[in-house]
C-alpha cells in the first residue's frame, strides 16, 4: 500500500519512488508540489486541476511539508525534482529503455543528450525543443505529440517551467504513448550544467532556497505566491479555512 498525505487540498505522495511502476497500461503523471505551485493554483484553476489529476504529486523541497506538520503532525517524504529524475533515469537504464526530453533550447537538449550517453549508456535518448510561446498552437502540439509517439518512450521528461509544463501534460496525456511523464522544470538546466549545483550542506541547512535566489534573482517573483501559501496555512492552522480535494 502506497502512502499519501492529504494537506491543504492536495494528496501528496509520501513513499519510496521505487513503488511507482514503469510497467503501466496507461500513461501516468508525476508532478511536484511546492509553496510556489500552491500559490499559483489559487489563481489558475487549470493548473490546480492539473495538479489534482496527477497520479503522483511529490514534495518538491521541504517547505510545503510545513502544512502537513502544523495541521496533522505528519511529515511528508521529500522527493524533489532532481531525485525523481535520477531515480527514474537509473531504472530506465537498467531496463535498457527510452527517454524523451521535451522542453528547453536545442543547445541545452544537446548537452543533455551528450551527458546522458555517458551517464546512462543503456538508454536511448530523443529530444524536442518546442517554440517559446505562452500558448502553443494546435500545430505546435501536434508536432510535439507526433515526435513523442513516434519514439514511444518509457519516460517522458517535460521541462517547460511551472505551470506551463503541468498543464501541457494534463491536456495531452490521453494522446501520448509514454509509460510515465515527469514534469521536472529546472532539472533540465541542472543536468545540462547550465546552472551551478547547490552544495549538499545548503540542503541540510534547509537554505537551498536562499542560494537559488542569489543565483537566480528572478525567483523573487515567486515570493508573492509563497506568501499566499503561508497565509492560507495560517488560516487553516487557526481553523478559519477548510479545504476540499476536488477539481474546480
pLDDT of residue 242: 83
Please give the Cα distance from 155 to 157 (Å, whole number): 6
pLDDT of residue 225: 94
pLDDT of residue 245: 65
Q: Structure pTM? A: 0.93
Residue indicated by cell numbers 495538479:
51
CA torsion angle for 218, 10, 87, 62 (degrees, to 10)? Answer: 60
**pLDDT tens series, the chain, 248 aa:** 899 999 999 999 999 999 999 988 889 999 999 999 999 999 999 999 999 999 999 998 778 999 999 999 999 998 988 899 999 999 999 999 999 999 999 999 999 999 999 999 999 999 999 999 989 999 999 999 999 999 999 999 999 999 999 999 999 999 999 999 999 988 999 999 998 777 778 767 777 777 777 877 877 888 899 999 999 999 999 999 888 766 66
- Domains observed in the chain: 24-192 (3.40.50)
Amino acid at each position: 500500500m502506497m502512502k499519501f498525505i492529504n494537506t491543504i487540498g492536495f494528496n501528496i505522495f509520501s513513499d519510496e519512488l521505487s513503488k511507482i511502476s514503469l510497467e503501466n497500461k496507461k500513461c501516468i503523471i508525476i508532478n511536484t508540489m511546492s509553496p510556489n505551485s500552491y500559490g499559483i493554483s489559487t489563481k489558475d484553476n487549470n493548473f490546480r486541476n492539473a495538479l489534482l489529476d496527477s497520479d503522483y504529486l511529490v514534495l518538491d523541497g521541504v517547505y510545503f511539508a510545513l502544512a502537513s506538520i502544523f495541521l496533522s503532525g505528519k511529515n511528508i517524504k521529500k522527493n524533489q525534482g532532481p531525485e525523481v529524475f535520477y531515480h527514474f533515469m537509473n531504472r530506465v537504464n537498467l531496463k535498457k529503455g527510452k527517454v524523451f526530453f521535451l522542453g528547453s533550447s536545442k543547445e541545452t537538449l544537446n548537452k543533455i543528450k551528450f551527458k546522458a550517453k555517458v551517464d546512462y549508456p543503456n538508454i536511448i535518448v530523443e529530444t524536442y525543443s518546442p517554440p517559446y510561446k505562452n500558448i502553443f498552437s494546435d500545430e505546435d502540439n501536434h508536432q510535439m505529440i507526433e515526435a513523442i509517439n513516434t519514439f514511444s518512450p518509457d519516460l517522458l521528461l517535460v521541462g517547460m517551467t511551472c505551470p506551463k509544463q503541468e498543464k501541457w501534460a494534463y491536456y495531452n496525456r490521453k494522446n501520448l504513448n509514454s509509460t510515465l511523464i515527469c514534469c521536472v522544470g529546472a532539472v533540465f538546466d541542472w543536468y545540462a550544467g547550465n546552472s551551478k549545483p547547490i552544495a549538499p550542506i545548503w540542503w541540510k541547512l534547509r537554505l537551498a532556497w536562499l542560494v537559488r535566489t542569489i543565483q537566480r534573482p528572478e525567483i523573487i517573483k515567486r515570493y508573492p505566491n509563497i506568501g499566499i501559501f503561508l497565509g492560507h496555512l495560517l488560516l487553516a492552522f487557526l481553523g478559519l479555512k477548510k479545504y476540499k480535494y476536488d477539481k474546480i
